[in-house]
A and B are shown apart, each in its own frame.
Chain A
Amino acid sequence: MTMIELMNDSLCFSFPQVHPCAKLGISFIRTLRIPDDGAAYPNPPRLGAFPMVHVDDYESSVPAQWLEWGGVMLPMYQSEALLVQFDPGKTRYPFAVKLAAGKINALTGDAWTNDLTPHPQDYAVSPPQEEISGYCVGRGVVRQFIAMPLGLGSTAEEQLAGNPKYGGVQVCAYPMKAEAFERFSKSPDEFEVMTGVNEEQAPFHAKMGLGLGGLLGQNVKLDPFGYDVWDRQNRSRCFVHLTDSALWTAITGQDPPVAPPRAMHYNLAGLPYHEEIYAPTPVHEGSRILEKLRTIETQAGD
Chain B
Amino acid sequence: MISKENVFGEFVREKRLALHQEDKNYSLRKVAMRIQVEPSYLSKVERGEQPPPSEAKIVLLAEDLGEDKDVLLALSGKVSSDIQEVIRKRPALFAQLIRDLKDMPDNAVLRIIREVRDGNW
A residues sitting closer than 8 Å to B (CB atoms) are 3-6, 11, 54, 56, 67-72, 103, 166, 170, 236-239
Contacts and interface: CB of A to CB of B under 8 A. Distances in A.
Interface majority SS on A: helix, strand, loop or mixed?
strand
Contact of A3 (B115, B119, B120, B121): B115
A6 B121 contact: no
A70 B117 contact: yes
Interface in B96-121: 113-121
A48 B116 CA distance: 21
Contacts of B121: 68-70, 103, 166, 170, 239
12 contacts: A3-B115, A4-B115, A5-B114, A6-B116, A69-B119, A70-B116, A70-B117, A70-B119, A70-B120, A71-B117, A71-B119, A239-B118
A157 to B, nearest CB: 13
Contacts of A71: 116-119
Contact of B116 (A4, A67, A170): A4
B114 A6 contact: yes
Nearest to A11: B116
B100 to A, nearest CB: 12
A26 B120 CA distance: 21
Interface of B: 113-121
A69 B115 contact: no
A5 B118 contact: no
Contacts of B119: 67-71, 239
A17 to B, nearest CB: 14
Contact of A237 (B113, B114, B118): B118
A242 B75 CA distance: 47
- 3 tightest CB-CB pairs across the interface, nearest first? A70-B119, A4-B116, A69-B121
Contacts of A56: 117
Nearest to A13: B116
Contacts of A69: 119-121
A266 B33 CA distance: 70
Given A70-B119, A239-B118, 18 more contacts: A3-B115, A4-B115, A4-B116, A4-B118, A5-B115, A5-B116, A54-B114, A68-B121, A69-B120, A69-B121, A70-B118, A70-B120, A70-B121, A103-B121, A166-B121, A236-B118, A239-B119, A239-B121
